[in-house]
Amino acid sequence: MRDIADQLLTEAWKARERAYVIGPTKVGCALLSGNGNIHKGCNVEHRYRCHDVHAEVNAITSMITAGDRHIAAIAIAAERNRFTPCGGCMDWIFQFADPESCDVFCQASPDGAVVGYRLRDLMPYYPR
């Protein structure tokens, strides 16, 4: 699983470089679909902030556009400690992933420690 985490995080950091932010936090995301494809996204912030698109949602909608429907693993790159998907992004991830088998990887710097979770561990009481 370490190889998948490294590959996804490398792609997430690349996607992060394309983020369009007004605030201080650029975020990149890469996910592995159930078909073995990698889909990427970055956050795109809107000047009024009510229409911001988070990196995870951007990657998921790219996955759907490409014809894939299942997330096997997802990685998030953001220069913030203990950064994990927000509740709204978790809703999207849960919609397209198996909470018992989907791995979520987070990294605060390109050469930093990789923190891994099982999706269910991030939201253990999420409705089934």
Q: Is 64 helix (H, G, I), strand (E, B) or coil?
A: helix
- Any catalytic annotation for residue 100? no
Name the strands in the sheet holding 71-78, side by side, starting at the edge strand that comes first in the sequence.
38-42, 27-33, 71-78, 103-107, 114-118
The catalytic residue among 11, 17, 45, 56 is 56
Other CB atoms within a 10 A radius of the CB of residue 92 amount to: 18
User: Could you give the CA distance from residue 116 to residue 105 in angstroms, rounded to a whole number?
Assistant: 4
Tell me which residues are annotated as active site.
56
